[in-house]
Amino acid sequence: MMAVCKQTESKIRIVHELPRRLRIRTPVLHDPAFDTVYLEAMLLNLPGIEAARFNLKAACITLNYDGSAQTRQRILVLLENIPAETFQQEMETETPEDPYGLAFHGISAMLTPLMPRYFKAPLSWFLGMPTIAQGVVTLLTQGIKIEALDAAAVGFSLLRRDYFTANIIVFLLKLGQYLKQLSEEKSDALLRSLLCPRSEEVWVEREGLEVRVSFGQVIVGDVVICGTGEMIPVDGIVLDGEASVNQSSITGESLPVHLQTGDKAVSGSLIVEGRIKIRAGRVGQETTTARISRFLENSLRFRSKTQQQSDRLADKLVPVTFGLGIAAWMLTHDIRRAASVLTVDYSCAVKLADPVAVKMTMYRAAHAGVLIKGSHALDALSRVDTLVFDKTGTLTRGLLTVTDVLPVNNMSKDRLLALAAAAEEHYAHPLAKAVVRAAKERNLKMPSLSQVDFIVAHGVSAYVEGERILVGSRHFIAEDEGINCSAADVAASAIRSQGKSLLYVAKGDILAGVIGLQDELRAEVPDVLHRLKTQGIRKIIVLTGDHRDTARAVTAGLEDIDEVRWELKPEDKSDIIRELREAGHIPAFVGDGVNDAPALVTADVGICMPAGADLARESAAVVLLKDDLNALSIAKESADRCRDIIKNCFGAAVGFNSLLLFLAMRGLLPPAVSAVLHNANTVGILGYAALAGKKFPASSDSDKGENKCTSHP
């Protein structure tokens, strides 16, 4: 169950109703922290909802739906119980530009020359006063910003009774704001169309047994079981167990929270450590699309370093424009010339174009097989010079097959494999999946499991038929647990020399045997690594927890790999990333497992493979949506292009507006013409940002790609 808004005044009222349409007023829409995007996603996710429109000034929501009483009731219940996460205290909101108001301003401006003076003067002051008031408030609270420039240009025109120019400037300002909102809504909608809920299976408890069912089969009241590295798929109450849970994608809080019996569990949270059982209170689509919308909003809210630099430079030019306008007035006593200068600003085009370029790049990259989580990820990826790979599941396919089952101490092969599979069945690691698959292929009966604990990057400790079974690396079994593994040393050495991975299995305090698994190198690896080197990657490093012989055998012949390190723990990988950063490198880490999360977070850019564990996908800044490393090259190319687009937009804005300023200072441009040319330049740059960002990466084979649904991060 989700926390509900604490405001008591959030009662709703139906102000108009038709058979398939509702108009509802609720005072919570006046809350400055209210997130309309989040609530819109929740509403559109209800079955039967066709469209939702918000009028914040009137505090109204208009909904088109299928007309059924059930859908109507769902709408009313949701709006009476708006989740608390719909309110963000630090969120910046903008009042949507009304298209009817925009049309009124445009018609008024065009008809101004035909109006009698006694009518045009009060009308023009009425139309211009909001802009002037906003400029005065901005000047007093924030200093000389673009709003102050706009207010000065409109004010000067009104003072000299050039009502046509004043109304044209106001109309163009509103038109620019409307086009900005339109472009952002369009790009947001395109992105949201790609971020469909992830199709997955979850563990539930039914009739005393733990069974695996598809996500869509979970119903309200089910007991859902979640363990380390898994995403909580439902909203509900913890019935049993304890866990450390990362809720950053929901609440923005970076520190994990401790959940225990009686606490509320929120869909989309990730279990960092522990195991809990949750009584499902909200399931399926009701828990997913709103979370997707929050992810989208959070990933786009913060501007990248490149965007921030462009914004700062553009903002620094605003006082220059203001000073030139005042200077033109003082030197020439021509208020018309001053108004022409003040209609030109640098920041408008930059601040409009940058987010559009980012969103369109994200959209096209997603179509080509890469989910990039916002402008920060794009910017960091464009600066990466070192690429660090975890071996299993990245350079290799991660589709391991069991090739050797070597029991010791009088255990049979089938018994050894069945015990290992029973212990590993709940674990999402590629090694675990391979063992479980091999047991099923041999039609082995899985022994009953009573308790399981995942020791990240080491292995699994489980109680199978009442006996403690350990499955994991030699380090885990021999060094951490103190079990003698010498009986398998000769066989293990022979298996490693073939480039295979090993799992050690112990029963109680005695080694039960060793399982050998074979993975294969991805066919595209040599070409991708070479292409990445041509894209500016100077150093490629491979990290693995495997034995030295296995690591060397797998990477042999890959000339573009500069370094291989083996027998590593998760903390070792993150330490290596930290060392690279301290040495001046800008590293990206590519991984897919629960044990990769520390390195994914430590790197400047964390990149997760499509089959990665939930914790890895959430930790990563970039998620590859295709099981193909060519998507990695596409991600790098997309990031580089976005950086170039932003720089080109900044150059075009500065160059063209500087020319306009020069002509305005010389008195060669009337204020109305100056305003038209400046806004035409802004629209042109906006169009370039959208079209250039929408272009498919050259290395992508998706230039005729379909709009497909991709996995949620």
Q: Provide the CATH number for the domain around residue 73.
A: 3.30.70
For the chain, percent of residues with pLDDT exceeding 90: 19
Domain-terminating residue out of 287, 313, 342: 287
How many angstroms separate the CA atoms of 294 and 317, rounded? 34
* Within-domain flag for 119: no
* Within-domain flag for 391: no
Residue 512 lies in domain: 401-518
Longest dimension (CA), the chain: 106
259 pLDDT higher than 60: yes
User: pLDDT band for position 200 (50/70/90)?
Assistant: low
* Within-domain flag for 353: no
Give the β-pairing of 605-608 and 587-591. parallel
* Within-domain flag for 77: yes
How many angstroms separate the CA atoms of 259 and 87, rounded? 23
624 pLDDT higher than 90: no
How many angstroms separate the CA atoms of 247 and 241, rounded? 18
Q: Can you give the pLDDT at residue 85?
A: 62
Choose, from 354, 390, 596, 604, the residue flagged as catalytic: 390
Say whether 592 sits in a helix, a strand or coil. Answer: coil
Q: First vs last Cα of the chain: how many Å apart?
A: 22
Highest mean pLDDT among 35-44, 443-452, 528-537 belongs to 528-537
Domain-terminating residue out of 468, 503, 518: 518
* Within-domain flag for 45: yes
* Within-domain flag for 35: yes
Active site residue 390: yes
Q: Can you give the pLDDT at residue 341?
A: 83
Q: Can you give the pLDDT at residue 702?
A: 44
As for how many domains the chain has, the answer is 3
Cβ-proximal residues to 455 (8 Å cutoff; 6+ apart), any chain: 461, 472, 476, 480
User: pLDDT band for position 297 (50/70/90)?
Assistant: low
| Six token digits for residue 257 | 């929270």
**What does the mean pLDDT of the chain come to?**
80
* Within-domain flag for 205: yes
295 pLDDT higher than 80: no
Specify the higher pLDDT residue, 405 or 452.
405
243: domain CATH number is: 2.70.150.10
Beta bridge partners of 468: 463
| Six token digits for residue 139 | 């000047």
Q: Please answer whether residues 363 and 696 qualify as being in contact, where contact means their C-beta atoms are separated by less than 8 angstroms.
A: no
119 pLDDT higher than 80: yes
- Residues 604-629 as b or e (16 or more Cβ within 10 Å = b): bbbbbbbbbbbbbbbbbbbbbbbebb
Specify the higher pLDDT residue, 40 or 285.
40
Domain-terminating residue out of 62, 86, 110: 86
